[in-house]
Structure 1
């Protein structure tokens, strides 16, 4: 039987889009999957819409609102697949989203992670021309610490499941996904397909818009990486430098917070 892939989908007030997300999973050319939908205390019609789907591969769990990390952790505990990946309730997986990544794993069994390309679409469902295509192949830990765009972390990664206990840090509200992948990546190999595997919905409610929260999240990643001795001093120094550049440009682009941008490097380097 083909490999089982667990797809973990946290949902919070996504009534406008969750049907599209589920339909994109139902349309997969690779049919041996389980979809774990965790309703994180939605107050809209999300639960009603999800429960309309009568497919034994779809598993629905509801909980009081605890945040996306807690919802993902529920899925991580329940999953039974040989591989797993994440899909947000307002995004869409392309028809070959699973099969194209599994094909890369099949060609190189030593891999731990396989990534894929992304296109972006707006609130009206219109695909934009720009997209993201990963290019890296090899040991990925150092690239993650460099926040290298050739293998940017996120929902596009399919992960080969091992005996590890997988868990997001629920105390973090930003950069928790970066920290999740950093903990998994040391000594592990990564590859990618240039096929589009995810269609990402762009909105104005992204956590990336909260620059102070994002900065705190990055500071937490630095502290945790240092405390757990996961990286060398030079690797942590480079990570700090890269984050300083990202945050300075983010504040500068925001325009209204230029003063914060000027002190950001000091805050990061004293983390």
Structure 2
């Protein structure tokens, strides 16, 4: 029997988190799903932890380390369902995440991409995974790139119909950083999508061994986002690209990489930044780094 959802979980060295992450999937109020875990060459105890969890809905595969975009694509190809739900191996779903997405799919039959909002989870905070009341007031349509600036989604809150990948392509395997934003750009070129803005997932930040954390030893291969700019989409895409490039400026300031900070600052129109973003944009690297370190110690 074909499950309604296929949950794709790439796994690489997440021994401290994978058990809790999987538990939030298995505890979902909507239970018609399969879980596809792709062990991407983990060198810690992650694989052993997964193997000890016995549930017939779990399908486990192991590859040599091929990277996150390739691992996600591998999971998509293995999936039985028409609806792909993505979950990073250190994030958490609220108990009604899939139930919420299921309601969106049944209500908006002409749409092929769905998401919910998220909350960040720091080492000093705790997650409330309980069910919250479903409300139509939380639903928003994402129709252009400007809408993305005011949305609050993460890869772990995204569900996509499998047919979408045949139309716009899969995650870009030639990069190892920023593949999510690259996919969103291609997605919105062809498809609007529905977001339930109330947070239904917890996205971990400030934890060790995270791809999005500053790590000067990890050589990042980042998409050329500007290749998507043209005269027809420039008005709404350019501010969104400036936001993406701003996040890269912040990242590389934390890595004290002056060359890449300069490179991505030059791609940004500062007029598209908020006041706080503009301050961060202009702060010299040493001052920014010091202030950020103080902030991280507090939170």
TM-score by length of 2: 0.72
1:117 alignment counterpart: 117
Say yes or no: does 1:185 pair with 2:188: yes
1:97 alignment counterpart: 97
1:208 alignment counterpart: 212
Displacement of 1:169 in angstroms is 1.2
Which range moved further: 161-170 or 48-57? 161-170
* 8 Å CA contact 1:112, 1:159 repeated in 2: yes
Q: In the TM superposition, what whole-angstrom CA distance separates every residue of 1:194-216 from its partner, at most 9, and x where no partner exists? A: 44321222214433334888996
2:222 alignment counterpart: 217
Separation in 1 of the partners of 2:215 and 2:73?
25
Structure 1 residues 55 and 231, CA gap change in structure 2 (3 angstroms): farther
Separation in 1 of the partners of 2:79 and 2:88?
16
For the residue of structure 1 that corresponds to 2:202, the secondary structure is strand
TM-score by length of 1: 0.79
Separation in 1 of the partners of 2:53 and 2:66?
24
1:137 alignment counterpart: 140
Displacement of 1:221 in angstroms is 2.1
Which range moved further: 170-179 or 191-200? 191-200
Aligned residues: 257
Separation in 2 of the partners of 1:230 and 1:87?
35
* 8 Å CA contact 1:21, 1:89 repeated in 2: yes
Displacement of 1:179 in angstroms is 0.9
Separation in 2 of the partners of 1:255 and 1:81?
40
1:162 alignment counterpart: 163
Structure 1 residues 62 and 111, CA gap change in structure 2 (3 angstroms): same
Q: In the TM superposition, what whole-angstrom CA distance separates every residue of 1:179-203 from its partner, at most 9, and x where no partner exists? A: 1222222242222224432122221
Gaps in structure 1 of 5+ consecutive residues: 129-133
1:131 alignment counterpart: none
1:85 alignment counterpart: 85
